[in-house]
């Protein structure tokens, strides 16, 4: 095949059976050392309180054998379907079909999302799950501004989610403000905290930035836990008002929406309303991000991700660029938080642990940093997948770990690694950047 | 332009000192660049050439001395505002944005200075006339370009801000001689046709001094020699240090 012979990699990489066997043997050896104590010997407290132990060499042998066989399969798969040469193996018609599907995927998904409450009107479980997925889509899109576009690794994104949620919860329960007044306030407060986080980390990048943002997320959570008089501490805030449809409550009472429309009340109405609310909020996030990407500020974010020194040489104010990225991402997190609070009716610090930050970050990275569609797909796969594998219970995390590792091996830039350019100068130039391999000249 | 503006140099650096922590990189540097001139700054690795260029841009800040641009003191002006005065810089090592397209890279150059659509179009035309290769590559990602094309892009990006002073840091670094000559030719064209003032920092002393009207030689953070390009090329100490003593001095 001419396409593959043009590339040096298959010839340069060792691929013989001896190489595969050697690799598998090394993996098996590592597994043997690792598991010899973890699996091979089992210890337990005996009836007299002393330690008793017994060996499980059978299990150990099975496990090491599995690793040996598995690594042979993985190596074969990798050589047959390498990460870089993938496009040369996929035949042309399939490629064009994929690109056709790619063009229509986003509109099709949007149409489907709009129709979800119609199709699944009677399935409360699916509606609940869709609302959850959309919440994470929105969080993913929000974090995408900070991590995907501006390249600022933020491990404490959940802090802004928490700020938004508590802003709405406290304003609504203490001052009786309505959801529609609190929503922008929650966004503004979260953006304010975003700027506050932004200032000390202006000079930091990469690992250092990640550590500080991680700490920031924990600080917010600990403050919420310990500031009992304001936040209720670990008990959380309950009795958060449900949202109204612009003043019309979705309740069975006389002034409720159902009574006014003259239809029978159903609790599903509120669910459907919540669904469309979060869908609209998520789409707003998406729209604003897409618009911003085409403006100088959005381009500056992306340039900042690529090369900070070059940005300064071009006269970009890196301070305001970073702060606006933090503030914009935080604002969307705050909106999502306010929605979360009104949906749940009850919030507590337990909802805002580091695990949430990690989950949202995983969605952004798996989806392809900077890709809006990729993030939406990743949120659907992650949150939907979690539910799908609920039956497997303890193997769920294992399956997810393996899936993530495989995805990162085969698609290191995420599900949708392609980045759509935002500046078009000449329409007649059809050379897509996809068709050209990246050089390191 | 007033009579006074015509006589003052476009850029005047007087007694500038700059340091990274405790290490003093510039120990009192004086240079002047007149309108329409190409000035070359040559010197060995670590002489402080790039530092001088970056100090003019405000990073690191000058600890002593003054930098005047068009008669205005810009010593304490923030970096992003210096760019707005239309001083453009093509940094060392090209530093294009690898994942952004050529078009976006060029647009980034125009973003810093407020310019009209017509000015942007004219700027693009100029860049494409100078480097037709960039027009062919317009939709490609910057990272997919060859080294020479990346250098063209870096210069093109700097030109998009319609600079009054263009500062180039080692534009021939790591390029094949033929490509380097193309780059130098483009700089000469810009100077002759557009009257662009250029400060060029180079280790390739031969090329740079042939191109430049005037040159400065920098050693250990001090200017040790100044003169026209032709004069400097004839100086025996220059020939010994930068031209005949191997590939670079």
**Looking at residues A59-70, what average pLDDT do you find?**
90
User: Is the pLDDT assigned to residue B231 strictly greater than 60?
Assistant: yes
A306 contacts chain B (CB < 8 A): yes
User: Which residues in chain A touch residue B161, judged by CB atoms under 8 angstroms apart?
Assistant: 314-315
Is B97's CB within 8 Å of A302's CB?
A: yes
Q: Where are the beta strands (DSSP E) in A308-430?
A: 346-347
Chain B touched by A423 (CB under 8 Å)? yes
Give the whole-number percent of chain A exceeding pLDDT 70: 90
Token pair listed for B143: 């990272």
Q: Which of B91, B103, B135 sits opposite A310 (nearest CB)?
A: B91
* C-beta atoms surrounding B107 within 10 Å: 22
A316 in contact with B, Cβ within 8 Å: yes
The answer, for A303 touching chain B at a CB cutoff of 8 Å, is yes
The answer to whether A161 and A336 are in contact (CB under 8 A) is yes
pTM, 2 dp:
0.81
pLDDT of residue A427: 44
pLDDT, tens digit, 9 for 90 and up, residues B122-143: 999 999 999 999 999 999 999 9
Q: How many CB atoms lie within 10 A of CB A92?
A: 7
Chain B residues touching residue A314 (CB < 8 angstroms): 83, 89, 108-109, 111-112, 157-158, 161
Label residue A15 by pLDDT band (50, 70, 90): low
Supply the pLDDT for residue A218: 94
Compare CB distances from A316 to B80, B98, B150 and report the shortest one's residue: B80
Closest Cα of chain B to A295: distance in Å?
A: 9
Instruction: To the nearest 10°, report the CA torsion of A180, A181, A186, A191.
Output: 110
A439 touches chain B (CB under 8 A): yes
**Are B139 and A431 within 8 A, CB to CB?**
yes
B112·A439 Cβ contact <8 A: no
Question: B85 and chain A: CB distance < 8 Å anywhere?
Answer: no
Using a CB-CB distance cutoff of 8 angstroms, which residues of chain B are in contact with residue A309? 91, 95
DSSP A219-280: HHHHHHHH-HHHH-GGG-EE-PPPP-BTTB--SSSTTSHHHHHTS---THHHHHHHHHHHHH
Cβ pair B112:A425 closer than 8 A: no
d(CA B160, CA A83): 38
Question: According to the per-residue pLDDT averaged within each range, which of A1-5, A100-104, A412-416, B200-204 is highest?
Answer: B200-204
Q: Which of B95, B99, B101 sits opposite A310 (nearest CB)?
A: B95
How many whole angstroms separate alpha carbon A375 and alpha carbon A139? 10
More confident residue, A408 or A216: A216
Residue of chain A with shortest Cα separation from B60: A312
User: Is the Cβ pair A316, B57 closer than 8 Å?
Assistant: no
How many residue contacts between A and B have a Cβ separation below 8 Å? 116
Chain A residues lying within 8 Å of B167, measured CB to CB: none
Boundaries of every domain in chain A = 13-82, 117-389
- Kindly state the average pLDDT of the residues B177-188: 93
**Average pLDDT for residues A159-170, to the nearest whole number?**
96
Q: DSSP label at B101?
A: B
Mean pLDDT of A129-150: 95
Interface membership of B92 toward A (CB under 8 Å):
no
- Predicted confidence (pLDDT) per residue in A199-218, tens digit: 888 888 888 999 999 999 99
Give the residue-averaged pLDDT of A350-379: 91
Pairwise CB contact (< 8 Å): B90 & A316:
no
> How much is the mean pLDDT over chain B?
89
Weakest mean pLDDT among A2-11, A277-286, B20-29, B166-175: A2-11
Say whether pLDDT at A85 is over 50: no
Other beta carbons within 10 Å of A126: 15
Interface contact B103-A436, CB threshold 8 A: no
Whether residue A83 is predicted with pLDDT greater than 60 in this model: the reply is: no
Residue whose structure tokens are 């209720």: A232
Q: What is the pLDDT of residues B57-106, one digit of tens each?
A: 988 899 999 999 999 999 989 988 898 899 999 988 889 999 999 999 99
Across A44-83, b (16+ Cβ under 10 Å) vs e yields eeeeeeeeeeeeeeeebeebbeebbeebbebbeeeeeebe
Strand partners, B19: B24
Taking CB atoms and an 8 Å cutoff, what residues of chain A touch B107? 299, 423
Most confident of A76-85, A237-246, A256-265, B170-179: B170-179
Which residue does chain B place closest to A426, by CA atoms?
Answer: B138
pLDDT tier at A299, thresholds 50, 70, 90: very high
Chain B residues in contact with A438 by the CB 8 A cut-off are 98, 141, 143-144
Topology adopted by domain A117-389? ABC transporter involved in vitamin B12 uptake, BtuC (1.10.3470)
pLDDT, position A45: 83
Distance from CA of A423 to the nearest CA of B (A): 5
Q: What local confidence, expressed as pLDDT, does residue B136 receive? A: 92
What number is the average pLDDT over the span B146-155? Answer: 94
User: Once rounded to an integer, what is the mean pLDDT over residues A283-302?
Assistant: 94
Separation in Å, CA of A314 to nearest CA in chain B: 6
Parallel, antiparallel, or unpaired: how do β-strands B87-90 and B165-169 relate? parallel
Does the structure show a pLDDT above 60 at B212? yes
Token pair 């949430």 is found at: A356
Q: Give me the mean pLDDT over the A84-91 stretch.
A: 52
For A421, which residue in chain B has the nearest alpha carbon? B101
Hey, are the CB atoms on A315 and B95 less than 8 Å from each other?
Answer: no
Q: Chain B closest CA to A18's CA: distance in Å? A: 36
The answer on pLDDT for A441 being more than 50 is no
pLDDT at A408 over 50: yes
Whether residue B145 lies within 8 A of chain A, CB to CB, comes out as yes
B165 lies within 8 A of chain A by CB: no
Q: What's the confidence (pLDDT) of residue A288?
A: 96
Q: Are B84 and B73 in contact (CB under 8 A)?
A: no
CB contact under 8 A, A421 and B100: yes
Say yes or no to pLDDT of A88 above 70. Answer: no
pLDDT exceeds cutoff 80 at A221: yes
In angstroms, rounded to a whole number, what is the distance separating the alpha carbons of residues A374 and A439?
A: 25
Say if CB B90 and CB B167 are below 8 A apart: yes
ipTM, two decimals: 0.88
Nearest CA of chain A to the CA of B175: how many Å?
10
- A430 to chain B: which residues are within 8 Å by CB? 139
B200 phi/psi in degrees, rounded to 5: -120, 125
Tokens 């700089």 belong to residue: B187
Q: Please answer yes or no on whether A433 and B141 come within 8 Å at the CB atom.
A: yes
Flag whether pLDDT at A286 surpasses 70. yes
Residue of A305, A422, A430 lying closest to B104 (CB–CB): A422
Q: Are B57 and A436 an interchain contact pair (Cβ–Cβ within 8 Å)?
A: no
Model confidence band, residue B116 (pLDDT cutoffs 50, 70, 90) = confident
Q: Which residues on chain B are in Cβ contact (under 8 Å) with A419?
A: 99
Q: Calculate how close chain B gets to A412, using CA atoms only, in Å.
A: 15
pLDDT at position A438, please? Answer: 44
Cα first-last separation, chain B: 41
> A131: pLDDT confidence band, cut at 50, 70 and 90?
very high
pLDDT value of position B193: 93
On whether any CB of chain B is under 8 Å from the CB of A292, the answer is no
């Amino acid at each position: 095949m001419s396409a593959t012979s043009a590339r040096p990699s298959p010839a340069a990489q060792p691929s013989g059976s001896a190489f595969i066997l050697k690799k598998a043997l090394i993996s098996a050896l590592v597994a043997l050392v690792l598991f010899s104590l973890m699996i091979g010997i089992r210890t337990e407290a005996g009836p007299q309180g002393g330690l008793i132990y017994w060996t499980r060499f059978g299990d150990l042998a099975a496990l090491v054998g599995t690793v040996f066989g598995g690594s042979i399969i993985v190596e074969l798969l990798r050589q047959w379907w390498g990460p870089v040469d993938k496009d040369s193996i996929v035949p042309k018609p399939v490629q064009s079909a994929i690109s056709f599907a790619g063009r229509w995927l986003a509109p099709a998904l949007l149409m489907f999302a709009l129709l979800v409450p119609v199709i699944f009107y009677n399935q409360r479980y699916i509606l609940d799950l869709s609302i959850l997925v959309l919440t994470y889509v929105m969080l993913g899109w929000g974090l995408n501004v900070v991590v995907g576009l501006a390249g600022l690794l933020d491990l404490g994104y959940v802090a802004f989610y928490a700020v938004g949620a508590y802003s709405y919860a406290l304003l609504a329960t203490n001052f009786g403000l309505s959801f529609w007044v609190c929503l922008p306030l929650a966004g503004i407060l979260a953006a304010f905290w975003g700027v506050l986080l932004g200032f000390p980390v202006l000079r930091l990048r990469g690992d250092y930035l990640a550590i500080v943002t991680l700490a920031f997320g924990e600080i917010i959570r600990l403050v919420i836990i310990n500031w009992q008089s304001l936040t209720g501490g670990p008990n959380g805030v309950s009795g958060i008002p449900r949202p109204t449809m612009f003043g019309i409550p979705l309740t069975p009472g006389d002034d409720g929406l159902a009574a006014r429309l003259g239809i029978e009340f159903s609790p599903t109405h509120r669910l459907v309303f919540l669904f469309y609310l979060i869908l609209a909020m998520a789409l707003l996030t998406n729209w604003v991000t897409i618009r911003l990407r085409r403006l100088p500020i959005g381009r500056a974010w992306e340039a900042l991700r690529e090369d900070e020194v070059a940005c300064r040489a071009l006269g970009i104010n890196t301070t305001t660029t970073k702060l606006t990225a933090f503030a914009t991402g935080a604002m969307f997190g705050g909106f999502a938080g306010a929605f979360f609070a009104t949906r749940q009716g009850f919030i507590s610090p337990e909802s805002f642990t580091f695990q949430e930050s990690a989950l949202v970050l995983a969605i952004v990275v798996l989806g392809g940093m900077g890709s809006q569609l990729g993030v939406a797909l990743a949120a659907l796969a992650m949150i939907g997948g979690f539910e799908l594998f609920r039956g497997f219970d303890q193997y769920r995390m294992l399956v997810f770990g393996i899936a993530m590792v495989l995805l990162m091996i085969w698609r290191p830039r995420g599900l949708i690694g392609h980045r759509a350019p935002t500046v078009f100068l000449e329409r007649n130039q059809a050379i897509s950047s996809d068709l050209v391999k990246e050089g390191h000249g | 332009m007033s009579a006074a503006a015509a006589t003052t140099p476009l850029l005047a650096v007087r007694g500038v000192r700059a340091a990274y922590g405790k290490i003093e990189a510039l120990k009192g540097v004086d240079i002047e660049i007149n309108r329409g001139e190409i000035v070359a700054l040559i010197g060995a690795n670590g002489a402080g050439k790039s530092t001088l260029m970056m100090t003019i841009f405000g990073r690191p800040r000058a600890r002593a001395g003054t930098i005047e641009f068009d008669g205005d003191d810009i010593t304490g002006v923030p970096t992003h505002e210096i760019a707005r005065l239309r001083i453009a810089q093509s940094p060392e090592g090209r530093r294009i944005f690898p994942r952004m397209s050529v078009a976006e890279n060029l647009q980034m150059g125009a973003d810093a200075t407020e310019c009209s659509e017509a000015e942007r179009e004219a700027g693009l035309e100029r860049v494409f006339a100078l480097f037709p290769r960039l027009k062919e590559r317009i939709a490609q990602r910057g990272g997919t370009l060859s080294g020479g094309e990346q250098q063209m892009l870096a210069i093109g990006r700097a030109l998009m801000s319609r600079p009054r002073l263009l500062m180039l840091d080692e534009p021939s670094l790591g390029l094949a001689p033929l490509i380097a000559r193309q780059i130098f030719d483009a700089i000469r064209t810009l100077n002759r046709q557009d009257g662009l003032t250029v400060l060029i920092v180079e280790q390739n002393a031969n090329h740079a001094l042939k191109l430049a009207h005037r040159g400065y030689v920098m050693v250990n953070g001090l200017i040790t020699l100044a003169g026209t390009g032709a004069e400097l090329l004839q100086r025996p100490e220059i020939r010994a240090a930068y031209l005949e003593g191997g590939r670079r001095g």
